Structures are given as C-alpha cells and as structure tokens.
Chain A
Amino acid sequence: MSIRRLLIANRGEIAVRIVRACRELEIESVAVCSTIDARAPHARAADRCVTIGPPRPRESYLSIGALIDAARQTGADAVHPGYGFLSESPEMAEACVEAGLTWVGPPADVIARLGSKIEARRLMEAAGVPVVPGHTPRDQSDDGLAEAARRLGYPLLVKASAGGGGRGMRAVKDAHQLDDAVRAARREAEAAFGDGTLYVERLLTQPRHIEVQVMADHEGGVVHLFERECSVQRRHQKVVEESPAPHLSATLRARLTQAAVRAAEAAGYRNAGTVEFLVGGSDPAEDGGRGNDDPNDPDDAVVAFLEMNTRLQVEHPITEAVTGRDLVHAQLAVAGGAPLPWTQADIQTRGHAIECRLYAEQPDNGFTPDAGRLLCYREPTGPGVRVDSGVASGSTVSPHYDTLLAKLIAFADTRNTALARARVALAQLVVLGVQTNATLLSRILRHPRMVEGHVDTAFLESELDGLLVDADGDGDGEGPALALTAALALHGRVEADARLATGRGAEAGGQPDPWRTLGAWRLR
C-alpha cells in the first residue's frame, strides 16, 4: 500500500529534505511545528502544517500523543520520523502502527533490540559481527559501575544503554574521573532517554569511525550502500563526513560492508539503517606489545561494531552523492511495501563527497551553543554543491533545539576537488546574527591531516588549539579588512541619512558608529 500523505514528525533541515522527496514522489506532505517554529522553513515547505505544542520538545516534537493526533487530524497515512527526536523510539513506532499509520522505519521490536546497547551487542556477537570489549553491570550503583570499570581497564567509555548522539556518554582516562563521569552520564541518559542504565566499554586508541549504510525490505532483502568516514568529531558529535573513506583497502571495505549486511540480517532489519564501526589499532599492551597496528592493513585492523542507528542519518547525503541513489525515496517505497529498488550489484560508487555540518555554536568559547535571529543567511550554490538547511534569513535559532543549521555537501570526481569545492562553498556561505563553526570547518578542510585523509576520532580534539587560532589561510592580508572598513563607512552614512530622513537624528545614538567600533572586531 503505497503512501499517499506523509506526516513528517521532525523539524529543521531533515523535515525540509523529506518534504522535497514527497514532492518528487507526488506524496502529500504534512509538517508539524511547535509554536516557535510556525514560520520556520520546514513548516512552510509542506502542503499542510499542524502546530502541535509549545517550544519545549517534550510538549511538541517528543509528544507521541500530539503527533498521532496531528496525523489523524490531517488524514496522513504514514509517518517519517527523520533523525533525533522520536526516530529511535519503539513506543512511537508502536503508536503509529496501532493508529493504522505506516511507520517509515524498522518495526518497534527491532528498534528496541538495537536501541539497547546491551542487546545489540549480544545479537551482533551471536551473528559473528566483531564487537568492542565492554560490560553492563547488573549492579547499576556507583560502586557496581566502578567494579565493572576496574575489571575492564582504562581508558574506557561510560555510555547510556539507551543512548545515541553522544548524549549520556563520557570518556574516562583513569579511575579518578569515573564518579563524575558516571553521574553526568546517568543524569544525561535519564533526561534524554528516560533510562539511566549505563554501560562501560573499552576505549580503542585513536580509532577511525567508519559506518555502513544499509537498506532492507519486507522480503528479507538487504543491501549496503558502502561506507562513510565520520572520524572528524568532537565529543561524539560528527562535524565533517566523507564517502568513500580515504585510504581504505578493498579488503577492509569488504569486511566492513559484509559485517554490516550480516548485522542487518541478524536484526531482522527493515528500511534504512546505519551500522557504525570503530576501525583502528588496539592498545599495544593488549596485543602482546606489537603496537602500531596499521588500521589499513586488513589483517591487522581491529574492526568493532559500535551501534546500529535505526533511522536515516544526518550524513546520508554523501552516500546519495556517491551512489546516485535517493535514500528517502527508497525509504518511502520500502515502507509502502515495495521490495528494494536495487540489487547489490546495482549499487556502485563514483567520485567523492564531503559533508560539513554547520552548527550554531561558539567554537572559541567552549562550543557554547548560540541562538538568536539570523539577520542574513545566504547559501552557496554551484556544480557539485548541495545544501540541506532548515533556516533562512529572518529565522530564529531557538535554544530549545539541536544546533545544526545546515549541511554543506560537496561532490566531485576526486577527493581533492571535493575538498576544494567544500572550501569554496564555505567561503560563499553567509551567516550573520548567530555565531557558527563555519571558520572552524574551513580550517579543518585545510588541515594537512585532513588534506592527506589521515584523520581518526581524536583528530579534532587533539588539533583543536591550532584550529581555533587565526590562520594565514583565512584570507589574503588586509584587503578584506579594508574592504569591510570602506563598506562600513558607507553603511554608516546610509544609516545616518535614513535617521535624518525619519527625523530621529541624534536620538539614534544607540546605533554603533562603525568609524569608531572597527578597532574591536573579532573574527568568527
């Protein structure tokens, strides 16, 4: 039964992206929004829109009742959850099915099984998928976790069993840091997922994060759409992703993609999903002192299942770019009961794609999230440039939601050209009114290790100090500053004329004088 009217239970760029797919497939789209989002691009893009509650996510985008009501009220026959919010909630999947709605995602029991880190590990181990050593103590007290940590050894990760997106997760270098980490992780896990169960896991040294996109149908068909390298991350928040993973041997690629397909089969998976792996050297002390494992040597690399994300990923566009396949189209087809639109042999990759995540944050102030009104927002365009965004000039960036404003995806025949495209796209991007990580993204793309394709999950944190410093590559000399000075002088004149014309003259002294203030400018 193919989908006719789809409710999109999300906001921001992913909701906009799903609306676009609906238009292409001639499916009617229903957006939902909180009161603060009533004028947001996602709310305006869809054919219909229902205001489902106040800004706090719990009372709107996380309210299963409000979403089901919105679907009923608009006559929707299916629900796409996007990512985040309720996308990995078995309760939401269940509620949709009970309400007679098609759920665009795997069945509730599959989400539940894979959403529990403990169960997922057990399942993967049984299916012969390699996993990272770890333990969930039955005794969930501070003492119980300390004992589990002692037996596992340091460094380790404390993770929320129900978690994802880095929330409820803490890296712990030694026993002294454990108590704080456990309490913070438990609190975050309870707040974010309503479940404070924790899990300790060995921290691999300098691993790469490589994940495999899979797609499965109702008839047991499973295909993979190759890998994404997502090692450029900070506190488990991905920042730059690319596909294919650089310097990945054909053998290692085959190991990863085969393990991913096995994982999906073992889970009885359906629809789009992502199997995340850590790839890297193990602790030299643990492998007989050989050390220096080469992650690119297929016989030497440690491959470990990390988790399976039972939804569309933020970074799905790079897979779409290199495979030429539309994942949301496929999701909607499969959810509607159709078999997979492709066989494994149909899926080949071509060229190279890089995604940069634009966050509303202050990298030079501890990455504090920023909020406010976008005074000016202009997206880059051009061959091989795709921008998925959920904001526009005049949009309000609210502190209630995720800080992801947009994703810039550059695609080209070679990795070097894709990098150049991404750099130029970033230089064309204009965001005024809210601070972003755009400058940091440009510097990452110019960093020698990024240029060479040798990054691991420790890259961003370890190179951060250098990346936060004004670099020579940021601009050529004083030309831009002089150009700005001259423009501000003219702008000041225009503003003064406008004030005179409206008769407000001198009282508009609150306006800063660009001739005076220029000395204090700061680069973001």
Chain B
Amino acid sequence: MTRRPPGAVVQTLTGDIDHRGGQIQIDGLDGLIDVRRIDSNTYESTIDGRRFEVIVANGPDADWGWVDGRTFRWPHRPDVDTASAASNAAQAGPGASPIAATMPATVSQVAVSVGQRVSRGDVLVVLEAMKMEIPLRAPGEARVAAIRCAEGETVEPGVPLVDLAEVDDSLATADE
C-alpha cells in the first residue's frame, strides 16, 4: 500500500455493500477493504488483514469519526474561531468580521467606549467562559461605532458585541 497524504486518499469509491457491510474499492488502492457494521455507530474495516475499529457520529455542528486512537471532525461550516476570525479580519480590514463570542459566555469587561479609536490587538471586550478569561481584540485600526453588550450579560456565539467602523483619516489627523 502506498502512503499518500490523507487529504488525497479519496478518489473514487466503488463497492458492493448492503446495510450490514461488504467490500469497498478505493481508486488507486490495490485490494478491497472489507467493512462491516457492528452497531449503530461502530464499524470495522479490514485492510490487508489488519482490522480497524471505526466509530462515527453526526452532531449538530460537525460530524465526527474515530479510528485507531485518532479523532476526526468535519465541521458543517468552516470554524469561526477567535484567532482565525481576527487574522482574517485584519487582512480584510476592520469591520469585515463581527466581534462576537465563539461560545456562550459572560461579558466580564467592556474595555472600550463608543467613539474610541482602537489599534490592532487592543482588547475590546473580555469574556468569561468556563472560568477562563477570553479577550476579544481589535483586528486593526478602527473606531468603536457601537457597543452591543453590557458587563455581566450572558452572550450567545455569533452575536456581534462591538461594531467597528473605518477610521476617518481626516479626523484622526486633526486629533494628532
């Protein structure tokens, strides 16, 4: 069996299976994979005589698979996480991405006020979830246009907490 990067594994599958199992041919792979169903979410695949237990589950946000001590996750939509959202927003310019929680959380501090100028990395809001403080930072130069949350409030993921607007450069220059 040749080793290939996992992302390239699936080419074409052909198979002769019913709901209990059968044999599957994967394009580019010598030999067949025997697969059988053990229970509602457990399967057993046999490749070259070696058996693998596979467990799968469909969740509300992602599908999951487990095999041989490794866990796989397929998000239904691309993950919106703080880090990547911030870096995407930094590339796309301020306001491109809402400043929002990624999980249910409590607002422990609102660190800015409306009209305030912020720079990339400035803390806008501090959330608390699972006893940890999670700072939401400005993705770039911007002005705080609106604050949509209050300290102590419980917030849901994806709901914008702070609106940022483009900095008015003429005003900024006048300030300095």
Query: Which residues in A have some Cβ–Cβ distance to B below 8 Å?
Result: 165, 167, 184, 187-188, 191-192, 360, 362, 365-366, 368-373, 375-376, 378, 399-403, 426-433, 435-436, 438-439, 442, 474-475, 477-491, 493-495, 497, 511-512, 514-515, 517-524
- The docked-state distance in angstroms from the alpha carbon of A511 to that of B74 is 12
Interface centre among A192, A366, A435, A485 (most CB of B within 10 A): A485
Given contacts A487-B44, A487-B56, A519-B7, 15 further A-B contacts (CB under 8 A): A191-B128, A368-B102, A369-B129, A371-B104, A403-B130, A430-B66, A433-B59, A433-B64, A479-B1, A479-B47, A486-B24, A487-B43, A487-B67, A515-B10, A518-B10
Among B12-20, B90-98, B140-148, B168-176, the stretch in contact with A: B12-20
Interface centre among B13, B36, B83, B130 (most CB of A within 10 A): B130
Interface residues of B in 129-169 (CB under 8 A from A): 129-134
Name the contact of A483 in the complex, choosing from B45, B59, B60, B102 (C-beta under 8 A). Answer: B45
15 contacts between A and B (CB under 8 A): A366-B82, A369-B103, A375-B58, A399-B130, A402-B130, A478-B4, A482-B45, A483-B45, A487-B35, A487-B44, A487-B54, A512-B63, A517-B74, A518-B74, A519-B7
Name the contact of A485 in the complex, choosing from B26, B103, B105 (C-beta under 8 A). Answer: B26
Interface residues of B in 6-51 (CB under 8 A from A): 6-7, 9-10, 13, 15, 17-19, 21-22, 24, 26, 29, 33, 35-37, 41, 43-45, 47, 50
A300 to chain B, nearest CB (A): 37
Q: Do the beta carbons of A432 and B47 come within 8 Å of each other?
A: no
A65 to chain B, nearest CB (A): 21
**CB neighbours of B75 from chain A (8 A):** 522
**CB neighbours of B63 from chain A (8 A):** 512, 514, 517
Q: Do the beta carbons of A368 and B82 come within 8 Å of each other?
A: yes
- The docked-state distance in angstroms from the alpha carbon of A428 to that of B69 is 6
Q: Do the beta carbons of A442 and B1 come within 8 Å of each other?
A: no
A453 to chain B, nearest CB (A): 23
Name the contact of A480 in the complex, choosing from B55, B56, B68, B131 (C-beta under 8 A). Answer: B68
B132 to chain A, nearest CB (A): 6
Q: Do the beta carbons of A486 and B26 come within 8 Å of each other?
A: yes
Q: Tell me the dominant secondary structure on chain B's binding face.
A: strand
Known A485-B26, A493-B19, A518-B9: A376·B131 in contact at CB below 8 Å: no
- The docked-state distance in angstroms from the alpha carbon of A511 to that of B57 is 12
Known A401-B130, A497-B19: A515·B13 in contact at CB below 8 Å: yes
- Is B126 an interface residue when CB atoms closer than 8 A count as contact? yes
Name the contact of B130 in the complex, choosing from A369, A477, A493 (C-beta under 8 A). Answer: A369
Q: Do the beta carbons of B103 and A521 come within 8 Å of each other?
A: no
**CB neighbours of B36 from chain A (8 A):** 490
- The docked-state distance in angstroms from the alpha carbon of A187 to that of B61 is 33
B156 to chain A, nearest CB (A): 11
Nearest to A431 among chain B residues (CB) is B71
- The docked-state distance in angstroms from the alpha carbon of A474 to that of B67 is 11
Tally of B interface residues using CB under 8 Å = 69
Nearest to B69 among chain A residues (CB) is A427
Nearest to B25 among chain A residues (CB) is A486
**CB neighbours of A399 from chain B (8 A):** 103-105, 129-130
Interface centre among A187, A403, A494, A523 (most CB of B within 10 A): A494
- The docked-state distance in angstroms from the alpha carbon of A231 to that of B65 is 32
Known A375-B59, A489-B13, A524-B72: A484·B82 in contact at CB below 8 Å: no
Q: Do the beta carbons of B76 and A490 come within 8 Å of each other?
A: no
Nearest to B102 among chain A residues (CB) is A368
The 3 closest A-B CB pairs, nearest first, are A427-B69, A483-B52, A483-B45
A57 to chain B, nearest CB (A): 9
Nearest to B106 among chain A residues (CB) is A56
**CB neighbours of A403 from chain B (8 A):** 130
Name the contact of A484 in the complex, choosing from B54, B102, B129, B134 (C-beta under 8 A). Answer: B54
Q: Do the beta carbons of A485 and B70 come within 8 Å of each other?
A: no
Name the contact of B71 in the complex, choosing from A167, A188, A439 (C-beta under 8 A). Answer: A439
- The docked-state distance in angstroms from the alpha carbon of A521 to that of B3 is 17
- The docked-state distance in angstroms from the alpha carbon of A31 to that of B19 is 44
- The docked-state distance in angstroms from the alpha carbon of A490 to that of B63 is 15
Q: Do the beta carbons of A482 and B47 come within 8 Å of each other?
A: yes
Q: Do the beta carbons of B133 and A522 come within 8 Å of each other?
A: no
Q: Do the beta carbons of A524 and B24 come within 8 Å of each other?
A: no
Nearest to A491 among chain B residues (CB) is B56
**CB neighbours of B130 from chain A (8 A):** 360, 369, 371, 399-403
Q: Do the beta carbons of A432 and B81 come within 8 Å of each other?
A: no
B25 to chain A, nearest CB (A): 10
**CB neighbours of B103 from chain A (8 A):** 368-371, 399
- The docked-state distance in angstroms from the alpha carbon of A142 to that of B109 is 18
- The docked-state distance in angstroms from the alpha carbon of A487 to that of B53 is 9
- The docked-state distance in angstroms from the alpha carbon of A474 to that of B15 is 29
B96 to chain A, nearest CB (A): 20
Q: Do the beta carbons of A523 and B70 come within 8 Å of each other?
A: yes
Q: Do the beta carbons of A488 and B56 come within 8 Å of each other?
A: yes
B24 to chain A, nearest CB (A): 5
